[in-house]
Structure 1
Amino acid sequence: MGLVHVSCESASVEDCVNDFRKKLKESLPVSGCYIKSAELNLTFGAFMHLSAILLVDTSRSGGGVIVEYSTGRNREDAIQRVLEKINPVIEDAEVVSFKVETYTTPVTRRTYAVGVAVYNLSPRSHGPLTETADRRKILAHVLSLFDYNPKVLNISELARVFGVSRDTIYYDIQRILEEKKKEGDHLT
């Protein structure tokens, strides 16, 4: 576990957001991390300043940071456009922290909104694939595509995707093959 700091400052909103994304990509581990907590700072003035301090756990994965900006006719419009970009990404995620701010330029009266959300993707074990019947149905279909040859399957990866143990996957495959054999015996 450790702290990661990412910061940028620019007179251009677009440049600052793009620079922040680049620095974030360089700072976070390539293999992924889980973000335990985050402190976000977003200010406007002559320069836009965006910074994040993240407490990351590199032994787990699923963490991410999304940064988006938009312009609009007014504050509400600009914020709505930013939220339309952020919400699909965090829909099934656990949000650790977020911040949305707006800025209207004094001369052109152009309104910018910038949004940042720090999140962790929910593990698939909380999804619809945790039910034994659903998991076996999917495994049976995959096995049927490979002429019921379990050697072509990556058991460890299947266990990870379904959020179960390898023994559970082996047991499911065994049951599927037994059912297939019974169906074959009834036909002869």
Structure 2
Amino acid sequence: MKLLHVSCESASVEDCINDFKRKLKEVLSPSSCYIKSAELNLTFGAFMHLSAVLLTDASKPGGNVIVEYSTGRNREVAIRNVLEKINPYLSSVDVVAFRIGTYTTPVTRRTYAVGIVAYNSTPRKAGPFAEKPDRRTLLAHVLSLFDYNPKVLNISELARVFGVSRDTIYYDIQRILEEREKKE
């Protein structure tokens, strides 16, 4: 377990968000840790302040933070716009924490909405062929996806992945193509 901290402060919302994203990439990129919990702070005034304290577990991958901003003629529109940017990311993740805030500039009356979400990616479910250890079934499926063109396959890499010789892979492909011709 490890605590990570990222923060930024700026008179410009856009600069603050971009600075935060840059710092976040530096902190999370080497580890890409699972986020156990997060404290997200967002304050507005003469300066915008954005910070995240993340409790991470380096033994698991998948944690990340989304931060987006948007403008609008009022708070409702600005929030709707920022949610439209964030929601597509949330379809297949587990949200740990989130915060949405708004700020209206005193002179121009421009309204900003800022959204920040800490999340963990959900593990992908195994496909129908991952459960079958049969090498030939898997190769047949891959070949069918590429219109039975064996030239698109990296034979050496397939042999390494399956722990067999290249000749074995060539033989499997030959049998698959022969079986396909018999069916037609």
| TM-score where L is the length of structure 1 | 0.74
Return the offset for 1:29.
Answer: 3.8
For 1:9 and 1:102, locate their aligned partners in 2 and report how far apart those are by CA, in whole Å.
16
Other structure's SS at 1:95 match = strand
The match for 2:179 is 183
Q: How does 1:17-166 map to 2 (within 5 A)?
A: 17-125=17-125, 129-132=126-129, 139-143=139-143, 144-146=148-150, 152-153=157-158
Amino acid at match of 2:92: D
Post-superposition offset of 1:180:
3.8
RMSD: 3.3
TM-score (norm 2): 0.75
Q: 2:22 is aligned with what amino acid?
A: K
Specify every segment of 5 or more residues in structure 2 that has no aligned partner in the other structure, as ranges.
164-168
Give the superposition deviation at 1:106: 1.4
Q: Distance in 2 between matches of 1:141 and 1:131?
A: 10
Which sits farther off after the overlay, 145-154 or 53-62? Answer: 145-154
* Count of residue correspondences: 168
Higher helix proportion (structure 1 or 2) = 1
Q: Residues 127-163 of structure 1: CA distance to partner in whole angstroms, max 9, x if unpaired?
A: xx4434997876423255437997532776xxxxxxx
Would you say the 8 A contact 1:35–1:55 is kept in 2?
Answer: yes
Question: What does the per-residue CA deviation read over 1:162-185, in whole Å, with 9 as the maximum and x for residues that have no partner?
Answer: xxxx89xxxxx9xx88x849937x
Unmatched segments (≥5 aa) in structure 1: 157-165, 168-172
Give % identity.
61
Contact 2:140 2:176 (8 Å CA) reproduced: no
Deviations 1:55-75 (A, max 9, x none): 112222111111101110110
